[in-house]
Amino acid sequence: MPNYKNTLPPVTLPPIGVIHSPYTREKETPIQPVYAEGIKGTVEVFPKYAEGLRDIEGFSHIYLLYHFHKAEPIRLIVKPYLEDVFHGVFATRTQHRPNPIGLSVVRLIERENNILHIQDIDVLEGTPLLDIKPYISLLDHRENVRNGWQEHIDAELARLRGSRGHV
């Protein structure tokens, strides 16, 4: 197998828009969309990319990929919000990643030109948007999944920790 370590160029991803939400402080932001049920926000797609939104309103949910622009330094071993045990960063969804890219599945309420009105948002106000992809149940739903260390997490404790007081 070739050694790509020193031959791959850095990747630069310019934002295609900005995410707007009621959350201005990380410590008040729910940790996943499931813990932000009903919370409304908007996705402002920059005008030069607005044409790419054609037909998006036919989907009930979309993936938002974004830059954790306020993430603290990289940590390869982290203690996630839902547990008091340390895990490898790639076995979690923490923002303290080598490439601070976030992923959220949100409900798409409506499109208004280059603005997407969404619900179940778990992202800080002003977060740079990198990409949008439609959630497609035929392609994205999986049966017989394993949830690793989260298999034993108490659902009520997860709801309390995950919502950060927004229950």
Domain chopping of the chain, boundaries: 17-70+99-136+151-160
State the pLDDT at residue 152: 64
With contact defined as beta carbons under 8 Å apart, do 82 and 158 qualify? yes
Name the pTM for this structure: 0.83
User: What's residue 61's pLDDT?
Assistant: 97
Cα–Cα distance for residue pair 21/165, rounded to 1 Å: 16
Q: DSSP 3-state assignment of 105? A: strand
Is the Cβ–Cβ distance between 102 and 68 less than 8 Å? yes
155 has pLDDT over 70: no
> CB neighbours (10 Å) of residue 27?
7
Query: Using one digit for the tens of pLDDT, what is the confidence trace for 28-42?
Result: 777 677 777 888 999
Give the alpha-carbon dihedral of 134, 139, 145, 150, to 10 degrees.
-10
The CATH T-level fold of domain 17-70+99-136+151-160 is: Elongation Factor Tu (Ef-tu); domain 3 (2.40.30)
User: Could you tell me the pLDDT band of residue 13, with boundaries at 50, 70 and 90?
Assistant: very high
The per-residue pLDDT for range 102-112, each reduced to its tens digit, is 999 999 999 99
Instruction: Average the pLDDT over each of 25-39, 64-78, 119-133, 143-157 and give the range with the smallest value.
Output: 143-157
Mean pLDDT of 129-134: 98
Q: Which residue has the higher pLDDT, 26 or 12?
A: 12
